[in-house]
Amino acid sequence: MKRLIILGAPGSGKGSQCKWITKDYNVPHISTGDIFRKNISEGTELGKKAKEYMDQGKLVPDELVIDLLTSRLEENDCKENGFLLDGFPRTLEQAEALEKYLNLNGIKIDKVINLHVPDEEIMARAINRRTCENPDCKEIYNLRDNPPKQEGICDKCGSKLFKRDDDNEETVSNRLAVYHAQTEPLIEYYKEKGLLSTVIGQQELSDTIALVKAELEG
């Protein structure tokens, strides 16, 4: 049982790390971005509200995120196996709300992985990113570094690849600015709690995986 948080700028490659961590440690992967996108595709009220912010690269307001996340942590899989939080917390207010929830439940975070990648690299990756539309697969490709064998088709499951609406230059630079202003302070917050491990994201996915693994085992 592990309770983990992964921090990193949008497009730093958190999603790829989450895929193996959730398998190897058998922890539910909780991505607030995925939860919002699911709500958007199902046309829920929450989805409609969230989409306005997401399309502009802005954060969804804390009050819409915090209840959503804490109620997700109440589900059995998290109680039994822990969790891997991806995209939450994203503001100090969210971190403090999480802290309150953990204290109330007498549980602690084991580790916070801070995945660091320079902004220029993030931009180059984002505009080339394609994602498998199959919700059970969600394989991520990059047209520059890791293209699919057949254009537009997932190697793993044969589903179509899509470009996320928010993977365009303007939205990415907004998201980076928001990250630096709102989320970066969490690095210091978790460093002070003695929970932070910083890993520099490498060009090769397998190299980054090895570095993150070393931090999680250590």
What is the set of active-site residues? Answer: 14, 90, 129, 164, 175
Answer with the entry of ligand ADP, Zn ion, none that 154 interacts with (C-beta below 5 to 8 A by kind): Zn ion
Task: Give the shortest CB-16-to-Zn ion separation in angstroms.
Answer: 14
Choices 51-59, 71-79, 95-103, 107-115 (CB under 6 A): range interacting with ligand ADP: 51-59
Cβ-based neighbours of 65, under 8 Å, separated by 6 or more:
32, 88, 90, 94
Task: Give the shortest CB-176-to-ligand ADP separation in angstroms.
Answer: 9
Residue 186 within binding range of Zn ion, rule CB under 5 A? no
How far apart are the C-alpha atoms of 122 and 134, rounded to whole Å?
24
Q: Hey, what long-range contacts does 35-44 have (CB within 8 A, 24 or more apart)?
A: 35/68, 35/72, 36/60, 38/135
Estimate the crossing angle of helix 14-24 against helix 205-217, to 10 degrees: 50
**Which tokens hold the place of 84?**
């891997």
How far apart are the C-alpha atoms of 99 and 108, rounded to whole Å?
9
Which of 3, 6, 10, 40 forms a contact with ligand ADP (CB under 6 A)?
10
Answer with the entry of Zn ion, ligand ADP, none that 88 interacts with (C-beta below 5 to 8 A by kind): ligand ADP
Taking the alpha carbons at both ends of the chain, their separation in whole angstroms is 15
Which of 128, 134, 146, 197 forms a contact with Zn ion (CB under 5 A)?
134
Tell me whether residue 92 or residue 137 sits nearer to Zn ion (CB atom). Answer: 137
Positions in the binding site for ligand ADP (CB under 6 A): 10-11, 31-33, 36, 53-54, 57-60, 65, 87-88, 90, 94, 175
